[in-house]
Copies of this chain bind each other. A is one copy, B any other.
């Protein structure tokens, strides 16, 4: 990758990185479309990063489909795929980590305590290896996108971060590589994540401000009918990622949730306008 990269700047081409863990779906491919609109050359990294998985998480069974990923990426216009081995990314005892404090320990960080430390570390590594001008992340992982933007600002990475919208299935389920884990029955019930977010959206649009009440209704919708087990349903100020209980004077709140169906843990979120 370094050798390829060293050839590139001579053209003065603008280079965009799309970091992924592979198992590509239409959500990832929409990131490629976004990348192509902003840049001359698109590098996609495909790497299932061990340091962002906790013990007992799905690192071992995470889908690895490099051949079909490469075909899909190439058809969509990716110029280079960087798919390193673990021995290339972590060749010796790894001791240097990048961490974004506070915001990494709430929401996803509460349930996956070492997750964001692994994410920021591998993204810093990818930025240093690929040296992109731009990088595209998905809004599906809203907290991750917020943390990456904060890392870039605080550590002065010379990379522009673009966050691309969530791509959804017909029934509203956010596209995710983990959706393949769902049984047909779970898959059907998982649509409740989207409908609960849409419920919150319409509640705020109708003038409700008390987010505790809205959360209680969402919780009822999810836990009641679907059998989904809720890790969290939360609302944050999108500018600070601080939790809010009342929409009060905000123009927008970001609703986020994490729900388990059997062994499968799904996350979703939606930006909600406050009336």
Binding site for B on A (CB under 8 A): 2, 9, 92, 94-103, 120-121, 124-125, 128-129, 131, 150-151, 153-158
Of all chain B residues, the one with the shortest Cβ separation from A124 is B155
- Residue numbers in B under 8 Å from A99 (CB-CB): 96-97, 99
Contact B125 A156 (CB under 8 A): yes
User: Closest residue to A121 on the B side, CB-wise?
Assistant: B155
Q: Which of A94, A99, A154 has the most CB atoms of chain B within a 10 A radius of its CB?
A: A154
6 smallest beta-carbon distances between A and B, as pairs: A96-B154, A128-B156, A96-B151, A95-B101, A96-B100, A125-B156
Closest to A2 in B: B158
**Nearest-CB residue, chain B, relative to A92:** B153
Point out the residues of chain B lying under 8 angstroms from A100, CB to CB.
95-96
Task: Identify A155's interface contact among B102, B125, B131, B154, CB under 8 A.
Answer: B125
One of B9, B120, B150 near A9 (C-beta < 8 A): B9
Copies in the complex: 2
Report whether B128 and A158 are in contact in the complex, using a CB–CB cutoff of 8 Å. Answer: yes
Residues of B within 8 A of A97 (CB): 98-99, 101
Name the residue on B nearest A91 (C-beta).
B153
Of all chain B residues, which has the CB nearest A130?
Answer: B156
CB neighbours of A125 from chain B (8 A): 154-156
Chain B residues, CB < 8 A from A92: 153
Q: Which among B129, B153, B157 is the interface contact of A156 at CB below 8 angstroms?
A: B129
Q: Which residues of B contact A155 (CB under 8 A)?
A: 96, 98, 121, 124-125, 128
| Chain B residue, CB-CB nearest to A131 | B158
Q: Which residue of B lies closest to A9 (CB)?
A: B9
Minimum CB–CB distance for A17 against chain B, Å? 13
Nearest-Cβ distance from residue A140 to partner chain B, whole angstroms: 22
Extra contacts besides A95-B103, A124-B155, A128-B157 (11): CB < 8 Å: A9-B9, A94-B154, A95-B101, A96-B99, A96-B100, A96-B153, A96-B155, A98-B98, A121-B155, A128-B155, A129-B158
Q: Which residues of B contact A129 (CB under 8 A)?
A: 156, 158
Instruction: Write the nearest CB–CB distance from A154 to chain B, whole angstroms.
Output: 3
With A and B bound together, what is the CA distance between A97 and B154 in angstroms?
Answer: 8
Given the contacts A125-B155, A128-B155, A98 and B101 also touching, CB distance less than 8 Å: no
Q: Among the listed B2, B96, B153, which residue makes an inter-chain contact with A98, where contact means beta carbons less than 8 Å apart?
A: B96
Complex CA distance for A94 and B129, rounded to whole angstroms: 24
Residue of B nearest to A103 (CB): B95
Instruction: For the complex, give the distance between the alpha carbons of A72 and B154 in Å.
Output: 31
CA A154 to CA B128, docked complex, whole Å: 11
